């Protein structure tokens, strides 16, 4: 019998052969995890589950010395774990140190980042669970595909975790009194200040923005009420998509009906909103319901409400104040059961919405930042466009990702969607920085060389991030340091490196 077979048999004995079955099952997990760690060559390994409350349950963990990892939940890339669990086979993420979506809360300034992450989903009921291995060195070439030993160990882990989860679900079930082994390391909530990217889902609306994560969490509660919602943001930031998500999550049975406020003529306002009775005007041969009636038990979206004419604003205000309306030429007062969501592309004093109407629409205000303030979302839109439109999804190299993250996205989501379409149309299976620059129309701007290397592109991205932080802080370097998560000394050193003036306007001559 070979040495590897002896070790495998020892691990299986530990998992199955003991008088104290519950304790034995759980105490075997580190050995089973260690077998995978040695097989793959990972510097760190963890067996983790994602709980409903946003925390990680760490069943066991091992560092390179075989010891338990302190604060193991902080070493988990939330993005890698979520993406890996969506698949039914092991997923290897390479060069993750070049992609900030994979950053963890423990990877602070000056700490070396992992170079690769391997996520192996575990088929258990109740909680998304996976083996999570990573390393700060080299690359992983080992594979567990078609490996019968790996399949056996994985099945044992699945069995142990599944049994434990089912035991917890049984009312009155307790941990055996003689068990000295804890069922798992203490569940650790994902930090209040998480990695730079946190994936949030609200209906069909998805974002990696930490700022939007707070808004979406509040909207989950607001959606269940009848409170009107006022969504503000530049064109292409996803206002209508967010409005549809609110309708989806509201549980309302009726449809979502859209009124494009800027396209309705004054002579048709009453008819479009409230409908008309038969004979109300020439050619009115039948009665016709209005948009409010069509949206009954559903949602009425007032799109581009900042483009409302004064007459339309007056009609909306009268309806919102009373909640009742009458069809044109009708005598019956009808009560509307409709949720109002309004979208505006103009913010603050520049809007022509009358104050009394605004305060009736803005029961809850939701601000959608432009993509230049949430570049991770721009990258997500491009990647989704690439994966949805072709049989063979093009691969974005790290230098291409860095360019997309540093782009200002003046066209917001539409620009990202069109870029993905152009990449698909180009027929390239590998997308590098040169192609991205060409498609963005920057090949002649002098921002980078015609054939940029990854180091040059990352330098460009770092410079742009620093400039934006300084602009957002109005030149206040202390505030910029907090935003960037670096020391003042590091900020000065990097400003000199990128030719950013230490005094005066940071954009002058840069």
HEC profile of 428-478: CCEECHHHHHHHHCCCCCCCCCCCCCHHHHHHHHHHHHHHHHHHHCCCCHH
The pLDDT of residue 348 is 60
- pLDDT band, very low/low/confident/very high, at 457 (cuts 50, 70, 90): low
Q: Compute the average pLDDT of residues 493-507.
A: 71
Region of poorest pLDDT, from 13-27, 79-93, 289-303: 13-27
Q: Is residue 443 scored above 90 in pLDDT? A: no
- pLDDT band, very low/low/confident/very high, at 13 (cuts 50, 70, 90): low
The pLDDT of residue 504 is 58
Q: Is residue 414 scored above 50 in pLDDT? A: yes
Residue 419 half-sphere exposure, CB side, CA atoms within 13 Å?
A: 29
Of 45 and 200, the one with more pLDDT: 45
Alpha carbon separation from 152 to 85, 156, 336 (Å, rounded): 20, 6, 61
What is the spatial distance between Cα 225 and Cα 362, in angstroms, rounded to a whole number? 14
Q: Compute the average pLDDT of residues 455-467.
A: 68
Q: Compute the average pLDDT of residues 259-280.
A: 86
The pLDDT of residue 298 is 96
**Numbered ranges of CATH 3.30.450.40 in the chain:** 3-189
The pLDDT of residue 346 is 78
Of 435 and 105, the one with more pLDDT: 435
The pLDDT of residue 444 is 36
Q: Is residue 183 scored above 50 in pLDDT? A: no
**Which class is 198-369 in CATH?**
alpha beta
pLDDT in tens, 195-212: 344 678 898 999 988 778
Alpha carbon separation from 19 to 22, 179, 251, 307 (Å, rounded): 9, 11, 51, 75
Of 181 and 317, the one with more pLDDT: 317
Q: Is residue 421 scored above 50 in pLDDT? A: yes
Q: Is residue 61 scored above 90 in pLDDT? A: yes
pLDDT in tens, 335-382: 999 999 999 997 666 678 999 999 999 999 999 999 988 888 999 999
Helical H segments across 56-147, by residue range: 78-85
Q: Is residue 320 scored above 90 in pLDDT? A: yes
User: Residue 355: how many CB atoms within 10 A of its CB?
Assistant: 8
The pLDDT of residue 209 is 82
Query: For residue 101, which of 118, 78, 119 has the smallest C-alpha distance?
Result: 78
Q: Compute the average pLDDT of residues 459-483.
A: 77
Helical H segments across 323-442, by residue range: 355-361, 375-389, 398-406, 412-426, 433-440
The pLDDT of residue 169 is 64
Of 251 and 8, the one with more pLDDT: 251
Strands 129-135 and 185-189: unpaired
The pLDDT of residue 132 is 94
Q: Is residue 296 scored above 50 in pLDDT? A: yes
- CATH annotation of 3-189: 3.30.450.40
**Numbered ranges of CATH 3.40.50.300 in the chain:** 198-369
Q: What share of the chain in percent tops pLDDT 70? A: 78
Q: Is residue 110 scored above 70 in pLDDT? A: no
Coil, strand or helix at 197 = strand
The pLDDT of residue 53 is 65
Q: Compute the average pLDDT of residues 45-49.
A: 92
Q: What is the mean pLDDT of the chain?
A: 80
Q: Is residue 244 scored above 90 in pLDDT? A: yes
Q: Compute the average pLDDT of residues 320-340.
A: 89
Print burial letters for 243-253: b (CB count within 10 Å at least 16), e (below 16). Answer: bbbbbbbbebe
Q: Compute the average pLDDT of residues 469-489.
A: 81
Q: What share of the chain in percent tops pLDDT 90? A: 31
């Amino acid at each position: 019998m070979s040495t590897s077979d002896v070790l495998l048999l020892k691990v299986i004995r530990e998992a199955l052969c003991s008088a104290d079955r519950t304790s034995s099952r759980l105490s075997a997990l580190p050995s089973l995890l260690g077998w995978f760690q040695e097989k793959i060559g990972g510097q760190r390994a963890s067996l983790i589950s994602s709980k409903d409350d946003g925390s990680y349950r760490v069943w066991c963990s091992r560092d390179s010395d075989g010891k338990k990892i302190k604060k193991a939940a902080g070493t988990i890339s939330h993005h890698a774990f979520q993406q890996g669990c969506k698949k039914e086979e092991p997923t290897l993420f390479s060069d993750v140190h070049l992609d900030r979506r994979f950053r963890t809360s423990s990877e602070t300034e000056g700490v070396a980042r992992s170079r690769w992450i391997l996520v192996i989903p575990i088929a258990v009921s109740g909680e998304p669970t996976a083996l999570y291995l990573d390393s700060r060195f080299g690359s992983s070439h080992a594979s567990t595909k078609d490996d019968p030993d790996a399949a056996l160990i994985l099945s044992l882990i699945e069995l142990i975790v599944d049994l434990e989860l089912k035991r917890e679900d049984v009312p009155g079930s307790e941990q055996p009194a003689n068990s000295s082994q804890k069922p798992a390391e203490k569940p650790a909530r994902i930090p209040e200040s998480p990695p730079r990217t946190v994936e949030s889902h609200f209906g069909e609306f998805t974002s990696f923005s930490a700022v939007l994560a707070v808004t979406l969490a509040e909207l989950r509660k607001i959606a269940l009420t009848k409170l009107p919602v006022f969504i503000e943001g530049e064109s292409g930031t996803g206002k209508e998509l967010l409005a549809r998500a609110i309708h989806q999550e509201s549980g309302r049975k009726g449809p979502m009906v859209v009124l494009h406020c800027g396209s309705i003529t004054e002579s048709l306002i009453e008819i479009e909103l409230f409908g008309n009775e038969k004979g109300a005007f020439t050619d009115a041969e039948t009665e016709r319901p209005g948009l409010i009636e069509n949206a009954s038990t559903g949602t009425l979206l007032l799109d581009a409400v900042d483009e409302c004419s004064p007459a339309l604003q007056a009609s909306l205000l009268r309806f919102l104040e009373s909640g009742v309306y009458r069809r044109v030429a009708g005598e019956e007062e009808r009560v509307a059961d409709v949720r109002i969501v309004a979208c505006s592309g103009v913010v603050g004093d520049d809007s022509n919405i009358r104050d009394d109407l605004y305060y009736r629409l803005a029961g809850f205000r939701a601000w959608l930042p432009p993509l230049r303030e949430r570049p991770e979302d721009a990258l997500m839109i491009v990647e989704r466009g690439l994966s949805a439109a072709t049989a063979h999804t093009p691969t974005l190299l790290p230098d291409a990702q860095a360019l997309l993250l540093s782009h200002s996205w003046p066209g917001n989501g539409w620009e990202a969607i069109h870029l993905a379409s152009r990449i698909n149309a180009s027929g390239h299976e590998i997308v590098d920085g040169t192609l991205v620059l060409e498609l963005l129309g920057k090949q002649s701007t002098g921002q980078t060389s015609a054939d940029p290397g990854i180091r040059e592109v990352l330098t460009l991205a770092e410079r742009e991030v620093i400039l934006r932080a300084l602009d957002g802080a109005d030149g206040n370097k202390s505030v910029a340091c907090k935003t960037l998560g670096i020391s003042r000394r590091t900020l000065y050193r990097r400003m000199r490196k990128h030719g950013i003036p230490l005094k005066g306007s940071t954009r002058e001559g840069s």
